[in-house]
């Protein structure tokens, strides 16, 4: 996994998002980072699609907490609308916070769901952010 990017980089640069990208959000609840959501929407120039949308998307933002269910199942499900080359941005509460998910659990769930953790970003004071990409078969 590569080093987390510097916090002074913009949200768009860290999450590799640009104007016109379609991004779908899963796991929204009252505890999400509202400022981060606004910055993502500003970067893409539109609102995030909700969990029920059926559009093909460039990226998925998944808010996940310990106790939300089976992370493997959720990671498989969120890939159904993900375009080829798209990524999943998995947000979990940071260490020491309620409902923290260990990096080992993220790594294992991602691998089982056909994804791998490629990097992390520092975009939130309360949430850890991991970039999950589909595994490539050569």
42 in any annotated domain: yes
The 10 Å Cβ neighbour count of residue 102 is 11
Q: 66-76 pLDDT, tens per residue? A: 999 999 999 99
107 in any annotated domain: yes
pTM for the model? 0.90
**Nearest by Cα to 123 from 49, 14, 20:** 14
Name the β-bridge partners of 88.
60, 132
Find the CATH number of the domain harbouring 65: 3.40.50.150
Query: Measured in Å, how far apart are the chain's first and last C-alpha atoms?
Result: 20
1 in any annotated domain: no
Contact 129, 93 (CB under 8 A): no
Task: Give the rounded distance of the alpha carbon of 56 from its chain centre.
Answer: 16
Where does residue 75 rank: exposed (0-12), middle (13-18), buried (19+ CB within 10 A)? buried
pLDDT in tens, the chain (138 residues): 444 544 446 887 889 999 999 999 999 999 999 999 999 999 999 999 999 999 999 999 999 999 999 999 999 999 999 999 999 999 999 999 999 999 999 999 999 999 999 998 888 999 999 999 998 764
69 in any annotated domain: yes
Contact 130, 117 (CB under 8 A): yes
25 in any annotated domain: yes
Structural domain range at position 19? 7-134
Where does residue 60 rank: exposed (0-12), middle (13-18), buried (19+ CB within 10 A)? buried
78 in any annotated domain: yes
13 in any annotated domain: yes
2 in any annotated domain: no
Q: Which helix H or strand E contains 24, and what residues bound it?
A: strand 23-26
Q: How many domains does the chain have?
A: 1
């Amino acid at each position: 996994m590569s080093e987390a990017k510097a916090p002074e980089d913009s949200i768009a640069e860290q999450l590799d998002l640009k104007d016109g990208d379609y991004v779908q959000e899963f796991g929204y609840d009252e505890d999400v980072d509202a400022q981060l959501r606004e910055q993502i929407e500003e970067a893409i120039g539109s609102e995030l699609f909700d969990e029920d949308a059926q559009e093909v998307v460039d990226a998925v933002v998944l808010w996940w907490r310990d106790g939300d269910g089976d992370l493997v199942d959720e990671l498989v499900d969120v890939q159904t609308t993900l375009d080829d080359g798209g990524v999943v941005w998995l947000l979990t509460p940071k260490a020491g916070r309620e409902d923290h998910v260990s990096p080992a659990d993220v790594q294992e769930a991602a691998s089982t769901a056909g994804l791998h953790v490629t990097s992390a970003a520092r975009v939130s004071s309360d949430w850890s952010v991991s970039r999950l990409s589909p595994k490539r078969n050569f």
